[in-house]
Amino acid sequence: MKVSKKYLLQQGPMLYVVGRTFVQTMFPFLKKTSGNFTGLQTKRVSPPSKSLQEVYKKWAGAEEERYNGLPPHMLSQFGLSFGLNVLNQLKYPLAKIINQGVEIRSHHILSGVHDIDLKTEIVSVEEENGRAKVRQKMMIFEKDVLCIEVTLFVSFIIGKKQKTGARKSEEENLTYRSIGKWSVQKNAGFEFGILTGDLNPLHWVDFIAKATPFKSTILHGFGMYAKVYEMIQNSLDVNLKVMGVKFIRPVKLPSTDLEVRVSNEKNKNGDFLLELLDQEGNKLMVGSYNY
């Protein structure tokens, strides 16, 4: 689908984060290195315009009339920049960040009309095997009502990572079924960047992306999440209460026939499992959900 560049006018906070990250990469001495971070931090933001809400929902694949408000995963537009600003208080450069996973738990629908209150804090930081693993919690309120809880899992590259033995899955006895496939065109990274403000060149600038280990532009992790979230809801005709995922491999652009599979049974925690596979059967994303 074609996404108008006019929506960039609503992406000031995230564009600022992307620009600052570029400047800090070029001039590392501008980045604070204390590593200290405070507790709970808050911010009030305006909801995205009604027009942007509708285009975003269409891009994600949401059925018409699914939402009388904002999809929970649209926090990537109005809330993620605040989360990144808090992460920037750590000593690690944002240019070295890796999005490893996210869990979104929905309690109430955000109307998309009233101001949104964000509260976030860094829960833990652990350095091991060339990575600084950070867990961040965000709570999203409207009119003093908790609507969404988000847990973000990120890592910062701080050294060379040593290979370790692959962990065996504990869910080998579960059976899966396919609920459908989806594809993304070459410009999908640029489209999602316009919709959220995350115009990291890795997602849309070929000569920069080709210099990375991926050798190609890739779709945002939140873009993968949104597409799978809506496919599960559409296929099962449910409204998800929670979906948590781990990103294993990126979706390279373009990609076709990306398959979403879900478990027929619940796991020991009472959740259904999901996985996103590429054409060769490689797992790109795994996780769990409930409704």
The domain that holds 279 is classified in CATH as 3.10.129.10
Integer Cα distance of 99 and 1 in angstroms: 25
Q: Which letter, b or e, does each residue of 121-149 get, where b requires 16 or more Cβ atoms within 10 Å of its Cβ?
A: bbeebeeeeebbbbbbbbbbbbeeeebbb
Q: At CA 50, angle to CA 148 and CA 62, rounded to 5? A: 60
Work out the angle between the directed axes of helices 80-87 and 12-26 (0-180°, nearest 10).
Answer: 30
The verdict on residue 209 lying in a domain is: yes
Task: With cut-offs at 50, 70 and 90, classify the pLDDT of residue 32.
Answer: low
The verdict on residue 167 lying in a domain is: no
The verdict on residue 247 lying in a domain is: yes
The verdict on residue 168 lying in a domain is: no
Read off the pLDDT of residues 140-175 as tens digits, 9 standing for 90 and up: 999 999 999 999 999 999 999 888 765 555 556 899
Specify the residue for token string 């640029």.
Answer: 190
Integer Cα distance of 27 and 25 in angstroms: 6
What is the pLDDT at residue 28?
Answer: 82
What is the pLDDT at residue 168?
Answer: 55
The verdict on residue 92 lying in a domain is: yes
Q: Which residues contact 280 (CB under 8 A, 6 or more apart)?
A: none
What is the pLDDT at residue 197?
Answer: 98
What rounded mean pLDDT belongs to the chain? 94
Integer Cα distance of 75 and 15 in angstroms: 15
Task: With cut-offs at 50, 70 and 90, classify the pLDDT of residue 34.
Answer: low
Q: pTM of the full predicted structure?
A: 0.95
The verdict on residue 231 lying in a domain is: yes
* DSSP three-state, residue 54: helix
Does pLDDT of 35 surpass 70?
no
The verdict on residue 219 lying in a domain is: yes
What does each C-alpha distance from 136 to 30, 144, 152, 215 come to in angstroms? Answer: 24, 21, 5, 29
**Burial environment of residue 168 by CB neighbours within 10 A (0 to 12, 13 to 18, 19 or more):** exposed
Domain count, the chain: 1
Task: With cut-offs at 50, 70 and 90, classify the pLDDT of residue 1.
Answer: confident
What is the pLDDT at residue 161?
Answer: 86
Percent of the chain with pLDDT over 70: 95
**Parent domain of 103:** 5-162+173-290
Instruction: Determine the average pLDDT of the residues in 36-45.
Output: 89
